[in-house]
Amino acid sequence: MRLGKRTLLSGAAAMAMLTAAQAQTTKPAALQDADKPLVLAQNTPSASSSSLSNAELAARLQAVEEALDAQRERAQADRTRLSTLEQGYNSAVWSFDNGRPSLATGDGRFTFNVRMRFQTDYASFMQDQTHQAGFAGPNDLGSGAVMRRAYIGFDGRVYRDFAYDVRFNFGGSNGGGAVGGNEGDPLLNRFYLSYIGIPDWHFSVGVLEPVFAGELTQSSSALMFIERPEIDNIAQQYGAGDTRRGIEIGWSKPDFFWPGDNPQVTTSFTGGTTGTTTGHGSGVGTQPGGDEQSQWIIRVADRLWSNGLSNFQVGFNYGKLIYTGGTGAGGGVVNLQDRPQMRVDGTRLISTGNVAAKTGQMFAVDFQSNFDNVYLGGEWSEFQLDRQCGSGSFTAGPCFGGNSQTVADVPTFHGWYVEGTWVLTGETKPYTAQAINNEVGGFGNPVPSRPFSLDGDSWGAWELAARYSVTNLNYNPTQLASSSQLAGITGGDERIITLGINWYMNRNVKLQINDMIVKVKRSSSSAAANFNNMSQDLNILGVRLAFAN
């Protein structure tokens, strides 16, 4: 085909030159003379061009044709690349990442992930059948089962710079005891939007779980024990823990000061929890309604050292209870309390009772670390409430001459825990350096190197765990009320030794067994006659089967 084109073009060029030569020889003499003085005419290709051979013309034509072919190939390649990019942008691809269905556009600017999590718990409470005379504590905690968590939701990204998370919860905790009934958990468990367009930062608003101390940075799917220690649950009164309305700003950057470190600063302004009217003042009599409760918390932490597998991190935390959302001019109340690390029965063995306080503050310091397949962690917390005078006749002391909202004293409570685990099969706990949820700077479940399978003769990952926790909710427990002071607070002192074994069958399925040895010392009031009349020892056996993707 090309040979025919070249022959045809060569013949046409030869005919054109022959015609030009004939025209040159037949020009009038006047015109011929007019050409001579022009320099341009002397440089124009005339006879020299006509002297080119057919082979030379064919070579020139071949070079032009090859250049055109190369240009056409480049244009085709450009069209192919543009078509590929366009198809990638318009297409969406489903994938399954360890059991998590995910949908993403070809350019990655839009993603959609389906999340599921459920945890079913069983507990057996073994209490002493006989108690000292005058015993006033609970003596028949209810054994049984509860669907602790049943999450379904979705998360992802929009235009790459925005992230969203929506989660509903169909599980809950049993109320029990004086609380009564099934407490449930809020159906709308999480619903927030985050801007992540600035590297290492996130700005979140909606219903969220704030980043705060200790095990609150662990996902509920990665808890080493069935429940978090008491002091982390009590911190919820100061704006942490439970999902609640709020805004959050966070920053974290690995290797910022030196290789291996990971500084983090996260601050949140939060309101009340979802799914309840608690924390909303409704007003009393002619008094206006109270505002929604409000809190401010901040966490500063840094992973001081890491070698890629092992890590060591410390954190400092402060929480300010700005307003309890009280009713009318009298302000609100705060009740610091928790169950004995099991929620099948909702009875609180330690509780301050309702303390008249509009404001308060807490401080906490924690550390988390893993050295290969061994994990160590702990936390110390202090809780303060600005207790108001309330009603009464005072002839001396801070309440004399004041009003009911005058701060009478600052009851202070504290607690701490230390815990450790050992993964017998050698896997390590992964560390999350950056995240836009409460898991930043937290540790996850070890990933079994050989998932459980009878066919494959593999048994997943096995972990031994132990924790010792102390929570003291007493404040001057023997102090009696008088005309110059308020009575002390007898919230109780609870100490729990927890021994556990965790079986990680695969990335998604986990079985946990906990044995809790509980010792409670508590008086029902500051009166000497009621000293330690609510004290008791008991044992709790708990089992959890969990799935998370």
**Which domains occur in the chain, in start order?**
2-88 (no CATH), 91-548 (2.40.160.10)
pTM of the model: 0.81
pLDDT at position 11? 52
- Which two tokens mark 39? 């320099």
- How far is the C-alpha of 228 from the C-alpha of 91, rounded, in Å? 43
Terminus-to-terminus CA distance in the chain, angstroms? 63
Q: What is the full per-residue pLDDT of the chain (549 aa) written as tens digits? A: 444 444 444 454 444 444 444 444 444 444 344 444 444 444 444 444 556 788 888 888 888 888 998 888 888 888 887 776 666 556 788 888 888 999 998 888 899 999 999 999 999 999 987 777 889 999 889 999 999 999 999 999 999 999 999 999 998 887 654 444 446 677 888 999 999 999 999 999 999 999 999 899 999 999 999 999 999 999 999 998 778 899 999 999 999 999 999 999 999 999 988 766 565 554 443 344 557 889 999 999 999 999 999 999 999 999 999 998 765 445 588 999 999 999 999 999 999 999 999 999 999 999 999 999 999 999 999 999 999 998 888 999 999 988 888 999 999 999 999 999 999 999 999 999 999 999 999 999 999 999 999 987 899 999 999 999 999 999 999 999 999 999 999 999 999 999 999 999 999 999 999 999 999 999 999 999 999 999 999 999 999 999 999
Residue 183: per-residue pLDDT? 63
β pairing state of 162-169 and 509-521: unpaired
**404 within 8 A of 390, measured Cβ to Cβ:** yes
Helix/strand/coil percent split, the chain, to 5:
20, 40, 40
E strand residue ranges, 4-141:
92-97, 100-105, 111-127
Among 506, 492, 465, 543, residue whose Cα is nearest residue 218:
465
**Token duo for residue 223:** 């808890």
The sign one gets for the Cα dihedral 343, 415, 232, 295 is positive
Q: What's the one-letter identity of residue 408?
A: A
Mean pLDDT over each residue of the chain, to the nearest integer: 86
Cα–Cα distance list, 69 to 1, 75, 256, 316 (Å): 14, 10, 53, 69
Beta bridge partners of 202: 250
Who's near 307: CB < 8 A, 6+ residues apart?
260
Query: pLDDT per residue over 515-540, tens digit each?
Result: 999 999 999 999 999 999 999 999 99
> Could you tell me how many residues make up the chain?
549
Q: For residues 192-217, b (16+ Cβ closer than 10 Å) or e, as one string?
A: bebebeeeeebbbebbbbbbbbbbbb
C-alpha separations of 255 from 113, 252, 263, 312, 367 in Å: 29, 10, 8, 14, 19
Q: Please write the tens of the pLDDT for every residue from 233-259.
A: 999 999 987 788 999 999 999 999 999
Phi, psi of 253 (to 5 degrees): -150, 110
Rg from Cα positions in the chain: 38
